[in-house]
Every structure is written in C-alpha cells, then in structure tokens.
Amino acid sequence: MAIRNIRMDDDEILRKKSKVVKEITPRTEELIDDMIDSVHEYNGVGLAAVQVGVLKRICIVTVEAPEPVENEDGELEEVNPLIHNNGEDLIIINPEIIPQEDCDVTDNEGCLSVPGKFGLVTRPFHITLKAFDRNLEPFELEAEGLLARAICHECDHMDGILYTDKVEGELHDVSELMPEEEEEEIDEEAIPEEEATEE
Ligand code: NI
C-alpha cells in the first residue's frame, strides 16, 4: 500500500473519460488499497482513480459520521445514516447515479485536484447509486446530503468533469473562510469574464 500523487487541475488526464472496469486484477486491488490510503492521507472526502492518473471507473468516498447532537429532551438524536454511510470507505466501481425526487441543493464543494479553493455547486439531495464493489458484485445504495454530493462529484471525475465546471459564481480561496475576515459584497456582474482566466 502506498500514498499516490494527486494530479492537479492543469493535468489533461483529468479531462479524459475513465474506462469501465471489467475485471479485478492484482493491480486493481493495489490501486483500490492505495486510493483508500491516499484519500485519508490527504483528508479528502472522496478520490477518483483518474486523480491518481488511472483512467478506470473507480472511486472511494469516505464521509465521517458526525457526532450525534442532543435534542430538547437531552437525548442523542440519530444522525441520518444516509449522509455518512457510517464513515465506511465506500468503494464504487462502474457507477450509475439515479437522482431521486425533484430536490436539488446548493452547497460549497472542493476537490483534492484544485487545492485551496471552494465554490458553490448544485447537486441532487437524494440519489440512488447502482455500482459494483471490489469483487465486482453489484450493490445499490441510497445517499443524501454530503454523501450524495461526494458520490456525484467523484462520478463526474470519471467523465472528465471537475466541479469548477459547474461552480456558481466565483471560485473562492479557502483563506476567505478565516473568521476575522469581514464579509464583502462582490458585484460579480461587474467583473468581465476574460479577467477571470486562470494561468
Ligand atoms: Ni474532486
């Protein structure tokens, strides 16, 4: 097992379509184990194989279960299990996402391939995921909230899509999250798009 290097957003491989996994070879096993180690090493919520330079439709999603909060009666309320999958490392191969209900949510998102940045993206709140596990056995999973968002984000990577393609408004710098910073109103309409180009 090893930590793999993350490809950054100027790397063309991130724009390529990943291939369907037809068999699990010892190399695929090693890749999956390395991806699990890597996503934890980099404190990510998810990691797609293309982000470590392998064009296979594999990703890991790992959403930590939040601490349960006390309700008015002092009882611990169960955290919706659909949003954290009990903190397990979810290995997702050849996924298909079926959005459920007509409910989208807009929230902040980041990516290990776009370090130091975040931005608003709209995703379905509730999805059904149909995919295959590391033995290529099919499984189905319901997911909501952050877990659904992370799965959608990672599956986009498999089609060469970065969240920055979908970001609403400006891409923000994480330094803007510092509490001492005052909120500033930015008139986004006033900034010509040409000036927003990156390197
Ligand atoms: Ni990403």
Q: Does a structural domain hold residue 106? A: no
Q: Does a structural domain hold residue 36? A: yes
Q: Which of 154, 176, 189, 194 is catalytic?
A: 154
| Residues of the domain holding 39 | 12-65+80-99+127-161
Q: What pLDDT is attached to residue 197?
A: 47
Give yes or no for residue 157 having a pLDDT over 80: yes
Q: Does a structural domain hold residue 172? A: no
Active site residue 154: yes
Q: What is the CATH number of the domain that holds 156?
A: 3.90.45.10
Q: Does a structural domain hold residue 178? A: no
Q: Does a structural domain hold residue 198? A: no
Whole-model pTM?
Answer: 0.84
Measured in Å, residue 94 CA sits from the centre of ligand 1 at 17
Q: Does a structural domain hold residue 2? A: no
Distance CA(38)–CA(2), nearest Å, equals: 7
Q: What pLDDT is attached to residue 186?
A: 52
Measured in Å, residue 181 CA sits from the centre of ligand 1 at 27
pLDDT tens for each residue of 87-142: 789 999 999 999 997 799 999 999 999 999 999 999 999 999 999 999 999 999 99
Measured in Å, residue 75 CA sits from the centre of ligand 1 at 37
Q: Does a structural domain hold residue 25? A: yes
Q: Does a structural domain hold residue 109? A: no
Give yes or no for residue 184 having a pLDDT over 70: no
Please tell me the total count of domains within the chain: 1
Measured in Å, residue 71 CA sits from the centre of ligand 1 at 34
Distance CA(13)–CA(156), nearest Å, equals: 14
